Structure 1
């Protein structure tokens, strides 16, 4: 197990000291930092070399693409929604020099269709990064913030387990032997119990013959000395409860879990998948 410090502190990918707080406010809490620039930077610099191809599924912002291009990697994202793709393309062009921005491209396909959308790159991708949604949400029960969120409005993010299984199989096909798959997830409270998707992801990856390499704890909040600086917004403060209450306390996300896998260099019986 490894711990990485991955607090983006509201900085835009590739923009140095340029603050993009207004742009980030458009996203709901679920999509406020799906992967993030610093986590993407860690993954890309650790798992790939300059010139390699990095693919992202479940894309909701420009952070991973910008990090890859800034590090001299080619990058491609699967994004089936035109309006969100146009928004991301615009931000990439705004924060990166033109000769760097052109290294990042968007393909109009769902994550579970990655092998079809990247048919010209089967067996050539060095790293696949995926930050799948936590769980499907009922449209009628969605809070107002998700109705305004450009990522939520696309609809493609409402992926169930069957589509995620199909995505994992597609990731196997696009990865080169020795390539890596990074799945970013987090535990959550659901129905009064803690649900951790990481063990299921690991078991399913093993069934596809991925090799489990590492579990990374990506710390999302700033660290001051030995203290985690947990920040919140007015809505979070409004959820504070009496300490004597038996209800669950408000949830503060301080880390993400990253399951890191590799496609073995030799995989008997699986060559037909390519």
Structure 2
């Protein structure tokens, strides 16, 4: 029987912009769906050792990869949008200039075929760390009238994909099926006993709360992975006996509207970090051979 425990990680002690300042190229802020660097660092440090291989099948600007190489791990990522893939490569090169000792590679492609994209890495990864898309656009950056003195709300950098073939554009059933394909491919790249970590949170669609973490647990089982743990990664800060709010403008706006209607809606203050493992190799089975693929800093194919 697998013992499941719940932990709380204080990964929001610094705002996300502060966590990225100087460590990532400034244009990285244009991506509206970035993983929090503190979450990536904590996951990699907890579930891998120096020299291990870390994979992110939907790597965006390369947060997982950058934090991995800074920790002396090697990293491989796949990103559907070529523009973001190029930025991930640039961020890896930036990390190397800052003294990162690990090597990373990025491929532009559809992660639903990740096992075909990275065949030389089969059975080698210690960790897969990723997050499913929440849609083709998010809240991005906001300037409200109270800040600018101008009427209305101005938004920018809220869209990371206009390609209708991107999985982020699909309805929930198709999105989940695609994510199941991605996890199945990633399982082929994991070594026996390797870890899959997925950061995910519920979201609202037309006012209804969608339990995306619950859906991810189901598709992970379809991919042959075993649920091992659920960790709460705080997006808010903790200090002086109180929580330091880091909720977005729109989260607070929707929460206030809900309370006005008599609905006790609260702003999200955490990410669910779901931990899965690849079952250990059955006794008597042949060991996996090491692949011949070598990682170099800043590759893109």
Please classify the TM superposition score into its range, dividing by the shorter chain length.
0.7 to 0.9
The alpha-carbon distance between structure 1 residues 144 and 125, as it changes in their structure 2 partners (threshold 3 A), is farther
Name the structure 2 match of 1:226.
241
Distance 1:101 1:117, change over 3 A: farther
Quick one: distance in 2 between partners of 1:236 and 1:152?
A: 22
Q: CA RMSD in A?
A: 3.3
Check the 8 A contact 1:40/1:64 in 2, yes or no. Answer: yes
Query: Which residue, out of 4, 9, 22, partners 1:4?
Result: 9
- Counterpart check, 1:27 vs 2:31: yes
For residue 266 of structure 1, the aligned residue among 256, 281, 285 is 281
Structure 2 vs 1, CA of residues 236 and 254 (structure 1 numbering), >3 Å: closer, same or farther? closer
| Higher Cα radius of gyration | 2
1:207 positional shift: 3.5
Q: Which residue of 1 aligns with 2:214?
A: 199
What is residue 97 of structure 2 aligned with on the other side? 97
Deviations 1:35-68, CA, capped at 9 Å, x for gaps: 2211111111111111110000222223211110
Residues 164-218 of structure 1: CA deviation (Å, up to 9, x unaligned)? 1111111111111010011111012224332212222223323433221110111
Between the aligned partners of 1:243 and 1:201, the Cα distance in structure 2 is 27
Deviates more, 1:58-67 or 1:190-199: 190-199
Matched, 1:70 2:76: no
Distance change >3 Å, CA 240–CA 211, structure 1 → 2: closer
Q: Is the 8 A contact 1:12 1:20 kept in 2?
A: no
User: Which stretch shifts more, 99-108 or 229-238?
Assistant: 229-238
State how many pairs are aligned: 259
Q: Kindly indicate whether the alpha-carbon contact (under 8 Å) linking 1:70 and 1:100 is maintained by their aligned counterparts in 2.
A: yes
Deviation for aligned residue 1:114:
1.1
In structure 2, C-alpha distance between the alignment counterparts of 1:4 and 1:97, rounded to whole Å? 30
Distance 2:30 2:262 in 1: 30
TM-score by length of 2: 0.73
Mapped partners of 2:184, 2:258: distance in 1: 46
Q: 1:5-53 CA distances to partner (integer Å, 9 max, x unpaired)?
A: 112522355x6xx38796454233xx1x3x2211111111111111110
User: Structure 2 stretches of 5 or more lacking a match?
Assistant: 1-5, 138-152, 290-301
Aligned-partner SS, 1:152:
coil
Q: Give the SS at the match of 1:257.
A: strand
Cα 1:253/1:42, change in 2 over 3 Å: same
TM score, norm. by length of structure 1: 0.80
1:234 Cα deviation (Å)?
5.8
In structure 2, what is the Cα distance between the partners aligned to 1:170 and 1:40? 21
Match of 1:217 in 2: 232
Aligned partner of residue 75 in structure 1, secondary structure: strand
8 Å Cα contact 1:186-1:256 kept in structure 2: yes
Q: Unaligned regions of 5+ residues in structure 1, if any?
A: 138-142
Q: 1:207 to 1:267 in 2, by over 3 A?
A: farther
More relative contact order in 1 or in 2 (CA 8 Å, sep 6+)?
2
Question: Structure 1 residues 101, 72: CA separation in 2 closer, same or farther (over 3 Å shift)?
Answer: closer
Cα distance in 1 for residues equivalent to 2:98 and 2:111 = 27
> Does residue 160 of structure 2 align to residue 151 of structure 1?
yes
| 1:41 equivalent in alignment to 2:41 | yes
- 1:76 to partner: Cα distance: 0.7
- The 8 Å contact of residues 81 and 108 in structure 1, kept in 2 or not, is answered as yes
4+ aligned runs moved over 6 Å, structure 1: none
